[in-house]
A and B are shown apart, each in its own frame.
Chain A
Amino acid sequence: MGMSFDAHTDETDEALLQRFADGDQSAARALTLRLTPRVLAVAYRMLGERAEAEDVAQEAMMRLWKIAPDWRVGEAQVTTWLHRVASNLCIDRLRKRRRDGPPLEDVAEPQDPTPAPVTVMMAADRATAVRAALDALPDRQKQAVTLRHFQDLSNPQIAEIMEISVEAVESLQSRGRRALATAMQGRKDV
């Protein structure tokens, strides 16, 4: 990244958003540098595709700028709100993908008959298999598993993001993990 981090490191997201709403350009810069990587991470883990993840990150941040003047301090954390917006945008895209079918560039090329080095192939295979197993999960299970295992959020935080109870989050995670474990076990058995 060419942009260096600047001041405002000790200010809360809410305080910065308030300053942005008051017309402070430097607060916008600080929020962008602080929050865009987090939103991008959620989107990338949910979608698995960089360009789409960047579009989602931009859209989520734009919604933050729009809501800033009406933001009510103390009602929700900015990061919780952003995670919710980003993951819901991702679910919309995943549903659209399923409706429209896979894009042409995702259709598998015919296999190259030349064997790759075994270790590289196995490592790539494993990551690809985990990715495929994640992609095969129902959207809400994928959201719950991603937020827990890749964003390191607690279940109460995830419950707030997904607007469901903690018990429902645990249920989604449990079923998601079971499906993932089954898919990976099946791969090892082949």
Chain B
Amino acid sequence: MTNGNMTNADALTNAELAALEADLAHLGRADPVPEPSDALLARVLADAANHMPVAVAPERMARPKAQRRFDFGAAIAGFWQPVSAGLAAAALGVWLGWADPVGVNAYADILLASDSIEASDTVLDAFSLFDMEL
């Protein structure tokens, strides 16, 4: 006896205990525990799917919030760099074509002046001094 609630009257003789074990074993055989039905397993699996924690990639978890904001900004800038360069070039072209600024014309004359050599038979006046009557 190891507990005050248990009395000697509760203790079974070996014969009584054997008979009881046989009765319980008989119940086990006569009324076996059913296997879980497919429907039950499906219900349990559906519950598991509903309560499944969402898997999160570890590297994303480790990144601080500020870093993520910077990454977002960098991604936006990276996309807009070529686009903004193209727009700026187009705007400059339109401005030069329509506004026709003076400074730009002068600069264009320098850049676009011809450097080709033209043939000429005109004698400069200064050379007439060398004409001598022999």
Contact B34 A175 (CB under 8 A): no
Chain A 42-63 near chain B by CB (<8 Å), digits 1 or 0: 0011001010011001100110
A114 near B: Cβ within 8 Å?
no
A124 near B: Cβ within 8 Å?
yes
> Interface residues of A: mostly helix, strand, loop or mixed?
helix
Residue in B5, B27, B30, B48 whose CB lies within 8 Å of A32: B48
CA distance A177 to B11 in the complex (A): 8
Stretch at the interface among B18-26, B96-104, B123-131: B18-26
User: Which B positions have Cβ atoms within 8 angstroms of A?
Assistant: 2-3, 5-6, 9-12, 16-17, 19-21, 23-24, 26-28, 30-31, 33-38, 40-41, 43-45, 47-55
22 A-B contact pairs sorted by A residue (CB < 8 Å): A1-B37, A20-B48, A23-B52, A23-B55, A28-B52, A32-B41, A37-B35, A40-B33, A40-B34, A41-B33, A54-B36, A57-B40, A57-B44, A65-B50, A65-B52, A131-B31, A150-B33, A167-B3, A175-B5, A178-B9, A180-B24, A184-B23
